[in-house]
A and B are shown apart, each in its own frame.
Chain A
Amino acid sequence: MSTELFVQYLFAGITYGSIYAIVAIGFNIIYNTTGIINFAQGEFVMLGGMIAITLLSFMPLPAAIALAVIITMIIGALIEIIFIRWLKNPSVLRMIIITIGLSILTREAAVHIWGENIRALPYFVGNEITTIGIMGARISPQVLWVVGVCGVMVAVLHLFFRATSVGREMRACAANRLATILCGINPRNMVTFSFVLSAGMGALAGCVMSPITYSQYDMGTGLAIKGFTVAILGGLGNSGGAVAAGLLLGVIEAFSVSVVPLAFQDAIAIAILLLILFVKPHGIFGSGEAARLKAF
């Protein structure tokens, strides 16, 4: 394999990986504060892209993206307040089914609002055929945007959870809910906030990747499955693990095209995941201790 091809595959892998990682982190934020896997996570990505595209006809691109992120955050908050906040001690299975239902409803609403056609935001820099050369390989500048924005989001989140008081309160909620209440923190607000945060992240990712992947009403399910895979592989709740697992899966997928037909790519990626789960039942970077507490 030539260096050029190697770098080309590597960048393709990093692009897929960043997208998977960002969806997986969205899963993790909500999982950490609630123990819920929100299967509607992919829908936040779709909504972000779709809303930004709609707003673009009224305002410049940065404003459209910012507003789309804010609107999606409000939707995330509404979803939590209407469907989840008032439930007392819901079982995990019940929450899985409710979020699957929400995902289906959001998708169906989207197809009746925006129609079945694909849309896309314009490229942030240049257009569809602009390329830049890196070590003999050529990629679109948007790839750097995706990788960059995902990297910045991960860094900001890390700082947020470590250095701000709201972030610390959310982590406290994740560690021990009862003790948090005793400390005077309202865990319900933290849950709402985790939905807002994760919706916002999803929406921003949806905007940045829209020029590359397009936005379509049914893109959420596929992303949610990949994101869930990566979240599990990295160990549920472990965001660093999610980034590593996302990049790993992306790179494996990219390089696998040179040996297996593309048509079998997904089957092989998932088979690898299953094997890993059988050997390490809590993901590569997950700990059994943490997972046992959250089993159902």
Chain B
Amino acid sequence: MKGIVSKVVMGAAALGLMLAPPAWAENIKVGAILAVTGPMSFLGGPEARTLEMLVAETNARGGIDGKPVELILKDSTGNPEKAVSFAKQLIEEDKVVAIIGPSSSGETMQIKKIAEDGKTPLLSCAAAEVIVDPVASYVFKTPQKDSDAVRSIYQEMKKLGLTNMAVLVDNTGFGKAGQEQLVKIAPEFNIKVVENEVYDKAANDLSAVVAKIKANKEVQAVVNWSVVPAQSIVAKNIRQMGWDVPIFQSHGFGNIKFVEAAGAAADGIIFPASRLLIASDLPDGHPQKALLVKYKKDYEDKYKENVSAFGGYAYDAFIIFEAAVKKAGSLDRDKVRAAIEQLKGLPSATGIFTFSEKDHNGLTIDAFQMMTVKGGKFVAYPAK
């Protein structure tokens, strides 16, 4: 009888050991929930690669304050239910100091409350403004505000004397948030939305809908707000119909692959974006220049692909995390959270971040630079 009891106890103990988490107390654990594969992978892919590169670089330098960083990367494939599961896992089980991601606004909104309840800073790489408005004390985001992008676009439209526009957005969370802001802010600039359509993120050809908006003679400009490859199809279809309407796009166009895909049709598209895309053209004194050029070179050397604005959002998240940990001098989540709110004038890939209790985005409209495409390359707008 005794033998059986001891066997049961030993068995249970072995099971317990197996289940127990590995204890590496000295590492700085940071979690990341990104859509590395799946339909949003063109966001999550560059984000994950950027983080891996930054963590490797930081550890090669000896870590943050002498402590190595351990990145726990979870691939959500863009599914909110997985993001929920992973967020709980990272907070409770892996006891991370902060979570970077998710890539999409839908996933971020689903785990906002979990981060709040788990008192863990969440640095989202998704754009929608609802993430930080109203402010939740543990939730931050790195991409620029949609409303600032809309204002940048409308200012240019105003200068060009365009007042009637067609709005085309994709059916992702990015497109949805953009559509809301575009419609909401238009009256401030006396701009009228005369056509408003949503296209599928996996669309193969959009010539039918382009034909429809082209037939509306009131349309003076097209705003094509999207983060998916299909946005290049819109641009192509417009030009293939011999329609030389001005095309405006969003910061979701900030991936040179989309320009390559649209080819000659991309020329002349006007859009607001991060300065990362034109790093080497920046004036020498610009506070972001040095780090942008380095990030671009490191990333392109390592992964043999062009850097994109999306990877830049993950870059920001890590830089903010690193700065906050240094400032807090502690790995306590509350102290790190408080330290993020105190960061002022921190230059990073997307812009210069200045957080406060009320502002968990930290960027102003100045983080946008109007750009255009010339000969298959991003250049500052107006083009020289």
Do A and B contact each other directly (Cβ–Cβ < 8 Å)? yes
Residues of A within 8 A of B (CB): 2, 4-5, 8-9, 11-13, 15-16, 19, 108, 111, 115-120, 123, 127-131, 133, 137-140, 209, 212-214, 216, 218-219, 222-223, 253-255, 257-258, 261-263, 265-266
Interface residues in B180-231 by Cβ distance below 8 A to A read: 197-200, 202, 204-205, 207-209, 211-212, 214-215, 229
Q: Is the CB of A222 within 8 A of B202?
A: yes
In the assembled complex, the CB of B121 is this many whole angstroms from the nearest CB of chain A, namely 28
User: Would you give 25 A-B contacts (Cβ < 8 Å), ordered by A?
Assistant: A4-B215, A5-B215, A8-B207, A9-B208, A12-B207, A108-B37, A118-B257, A119-B261, A120-B260, A128-B262, A128-B264, A129-B240, A130-B240, A138-B242, A209-B204, A213-B204, A214-B261, A216-B229, A254-B208, A255-B208, A257-B208, A257-B209, A261-B197, A261-B198, A262-B199
Once the chains bind, are A139 and B240 in contact (CB under 8 Å)?
yes
Q: Which of B16-45 contact A (CB under 8 A)?
A: 37, 39, 41-42, 45
Question: What CA separation (Å) do A87 and B209 show in the bound complex?
Answer: 47
Smallest beta-carbon distance B346→chain A, Å: 30
Residues of A within 8 A of B37 (CB): 108, 111, 116
Which of A8, A111, A120 is in CB contact (< 8 Å) with B241?
A8
Verify A117–B257 contact, CB threshold 8 A: yes
Is B110 an interface residue when CB atoms closer than 8 A count as contact?
no
Residues in chain B within 8 A of chain A (CB atoms): 37, 39, 41-42, 45, 171, 197-200, 202, 204-205, 207-209, 211-212, 214-215, 229, 232-233, 236, 239-242, 257-258, 260-266, 305
B233 contacts across to A, CB distance below 8 A: 212-214
Cβ of B229: which chain A residues have Cβ within 8 Å of it? 118, 214, 216
Q: Among the interface residues B199, B205, B215, B229, which one has the most CB atoms of the partner chain A within 10 A? A: B205
- Interface contact B202-A129, CB-CB below 8 Å: no
Whether B261 lies near A120 (C-beta < 8 A) is yes
A257 to B212, CA, bound (A): 7
Chain A residues with Cβ under 8 A from B241's Cβ?
A: 8, 131, 137-139
The reply to whether B41 and A263 form a contact with Cβ atoms under 8 Å apart is no
Question: How far, in angstroms, from A64 to B17 measured CA to CA in the complex?
Answer: 56
B205 to A138, Cβ gap below 8 A?
no
Indicate whether A117 sits within 8 Å of B305 (C-beta atoms), given known contacts A111-B37, A214-B261, A216-B229. Answer: yes
Chain A residue nearest in CB terms to B197: A262
Residue of A nearest to B243 (CB): A138
Contact A128 B239, beta carbon cutoff 8 Å: yes
A5 — which chain B residues lie within 8 A by C-beta? 211-212, 215
- Contact check, B204 vs A19: say whether CB atoms are below 8 A apart: yes
> Do residues B265 and A129 form an inter-chain contact, with CB atoms below 8 A?
yes
Give, as a whole number of angstroms, the nearest-CB distance from B200 to chain A.
7
Pair B242/A263 contact, Cβ less than 8 Å = no
Counting chain A CB atoms within 10 Å of each CB, the highest count among B214, B241, B266 belongs to B241
> In whole angstroms, how far apart are the Cα atoms of A212 and B230 in the complex?
11
Which residue on chain B has the smallest CB distance to residue A127? B264
Which residue in chain B gives the minimum CB-CB distance to A13?
B208
Contact (Cβ within 8 A) B209 A140: no
Shortest C-beta distance, B21 to chain A (Å), equals: 29
CA distance A261 to B200 in the complex (A): 11
Which of A9, A116, A129, A266 touches B211 (beta carbons < 8 Å)?
A9
Q: B239 contacts A129, CB within 8 Å?
A: yes
Find chain B residues with CB under 8 A from A16 CB.
204-205
Residue of A nearest to B202 (CB): A222
- The residue that A15 contacts in the complex, of B197, B198, B202, B205, with Cβ under 8 A, is B205
Given A216-B229, A218-B39, A131:B242 Cβ within 8 A:
yes
Instruction: Report whether A263 and B198 are in contact in the complex, using a CB–CB cutoff of 8 Å.
Output: yes
Given known A-B contacts A118-B257, A128-B265, A214 and B208 have beta carbons under 8 A apart:
no
A68 to B94, CA, bound (A): 46
Q: Which residues of B contact A131 (CB under 8 A)?
A: 239-242
Task: Report B307 CB to chain A, min CB distance, Å.
Answer: 13
Expressed in whole angstroms, the Cα–Cα distance for A254 and B203 within the complex equals 13
CA distance A37 to B240 in the complex (A): 36
Q: Which residues in A have their C-beta under 8 angstroms from that of B266?
A: 128
Q: Are A128 and B236 closer than 8 Å at their CB atoms?
A: yes
Question: In the complex, what's the smallest C-beta–C-beta distance from A104 to chain B, in angstroms?
Answer: 12
In the bound complex, CA of A197 to CA of B278 (Å): 48
Contact B45 A128 (CB under 8 A): no
